[in-house]
Structure 1
Amino acid sequence: MAELRAAVIAEYVKGYKPGHIFKHLKPLGINRKFVYRTIDRYLETGGTEDKARYGRPRSVRTPRLKKIIRDRIRRNPAQSARKLARNLKMNRESIRLLLRKNLTLTPYKKQVVHGVTKATKDKRYQRSRELLGWRADDEIIFLDEKLFVLEQTVNRQNDQVWSVSLQQALADKLNVSRFQNKTSVMVWGAICKRGKLPLIFIDKGVKINAAYYLDMVLKKNVLPQAELLFEDDYYCFQQDGAPFHTAKVVQAWCKENLTDFISKNEWPPSSPDLNPLDYFVWGYMMSKLNDYKKTNLEQFKRVITKIWDEMPMEHVRAACDDFPRRLKLVRSEKGGVIPRYRL
């Protein structure tokens, strides 16, 4: 670097302008900005040495330490900055600065996903390919069930209460009650691009089997609502691989009474990432529950119904429209779980 600066100044002293110096010395690998900076430094200081720096010199985040930490992260990318600092007997903030700024790394939270075996992956891959071939663009009614629990959800990282001291923090804001016998309610929901079917609440203690599902869900709710939404138009019905969904009597009824349906041998197993109720609707509703006061079961049901009814249809349609894209992602992953960065 010192030789390059000296070459620039030698040309400048001879009377050459910066543009000429850049063209002449360009083969040496310098850029135009380097030429101008070197001349400015020469005019200001009378030399080409670096200016005196302010603050103490860097003594911790050295190239040697950078290599040590890079090697450790390569061996185990899941270790924390706290553990690295303890093992290296260093300040935690210095480690974090080195990880983020010097190594340009970003910490990502671990993700809980549904597990798939080799056999499940093969079925997901094969059935996703088949659905893409002749079902992806159908008008599909998606159905799924969800258990809602009457208690406030807490995000321990982001849910906070600001106060000058713990003693002065309001107890009703700070404390979240948990009871041994939780009040909960099971609901069935169904959506399609044309609308949302009314929610179906299941009374506590009811044994859900094929007969109950067929009578209370399909015959009394899904079929009448589907005929109301589609009239004489074609639609396709989807349900997952729950035992009462795949029972012979249920499959036979669907084949006889619905315009079309995805049978138990066509829907990919272990695929919540393919059902818009799983990958959008239930999460949307859970995020809204804490906005409402609910102290008993009936009030809880009214809140759930209100959130369902007010859920924007443009969001529902977007979730349904995402189904073909997700089928392609499962296919490209050879039946594996869709990576978060691709969603």
Structure 2
Amino acid sequence: MSDEAHFHLSGYVNKQNMRFWGTKNPHEMHEEPLHPLKVTVWCGICSEKVIGPYFFEDGDGTTVTVTGERYRHMLNNFFLPQIAELGLEHCWFQQDGATAHTARATMEILKRQFPGRMISRFGDLNWPARSLDLTALDFFLWGFLKSRVYRNKPQTLQLLKANIKEEIANLEPDILRATILNAVKRAQMCINSEGGHLTDIIFSS
């Protein structure tokens, strides 16, 4: 499983790419800086380890938007060499339906690397939209990191990135195995409920 998240220096983590708009105004205001300092982090997770973090940034270390070209650069120069080194070439690969992930050129790279083993929009198995409760990074990793990386109140992006790297490196294998088992359990519950809400597991995990 793979995904990106924004970690703001202020302590806010944006891990959701989609929003649901209600019919009623809640009369609440949420203020944020116009251009907050943040890092954009990509990670892959399996039962053996977290692959990453990979930070989307330019040569000067400035955070950049995830485009198809930049995503392909990450795949070719970071992710694929990593899985080759780990001997994971025959694993399945999952990603969400973000445009950068599913551009034609991107999918050609992924389908060539994972023939018949792509879980994605336009992949061998279609990944459902708005499925945050099924993805190990959303229901575990991003929240876990948020609870850890801001403890020492990092004042620079460099310190924030160092904290993210350290906490990922310190993750125990037992936690990762339990997380993937949880993901499988959630997927089965989704199948059993024919795509309905996972009420039981959302409030018990």
For the 8 Å contact 1:281–1:316, the answer to whether it is kept is: no
The corresponding residue for 1:194 is: 48
Matched, 1:227 2:81: no
The root-mean-square deviation of aligned C-alpha atoms, in Å, is: 2.1
Largest Rg, 1 or 2: 1
Measure the CA separation in 1 of the matches of 2:49 and 2:150. Answer: 25
Shift of 1:152: 4.3
- Structure 1 unaligned runs (5+)? 1-141, 154-177
The 5 Å alignment of 1:158-307 reads: 181-203=35-57, 204=62, 206-215=64-73, 217-230=74-87, 234-258=90-114, 260-265=117-122, 266-307=126-167
Shift of 1:264: 1.3
Measure the CA separation in 1 of the matches of 2:204 and 2:136. Answer: 16
The corresponding residue for 2:181 is: 321
* Secondary structure, aligned partner of 1:317: helix
* Secondary structure, aligned partner of 2:184: helix
* Secondary structure, aligned partner of 2:128: coil
* Secondary structure, aligned partner of 2:158: helix
For the 8 Å contact 1:251–1:263, the answer to whether it is kept is: no
Q: Which has the higher helix share?
A: 1
Cα gap change, 1:342 to 1:334, in 2 (>3 Å)? farther
Number of residue pairs aligned between Structure 1 and Structure 2: 176
Matched, 1:330 2:190: yes
- Structure 2 unaligned runs (5+)? 13-31
Measure the CA separation in 2 of the matches of 1:151 and 1:334. Answer: 39
Cα gap change, 1:229 to 1:152, in 2 (>3 Å)? same
TM-score (norm 1): 0.48
Q: Which has the higher strand share?
A: 2
Cα gap change, 1:308 to 1:331, in 2 (>3 Å)? same
Shift of 1:310: 1.1
The aligned amino acid for 1:209 is T
* Secondary structure, aligned partner of 1:305: helix
Measure the CA separation in 2 of the matches of 1:311 and 1:244. Answer: 28
Percent identity of equivalent pairs: 28
Shift of 1:206: 2.4
Cα gap change, 1:212 to 1:333, in 2 (>3 Å)? same
The corresponding residue for 1:312 is: 172
For the 8 Å contact 2:136–2:183, the answer to whether it is kept is: yes
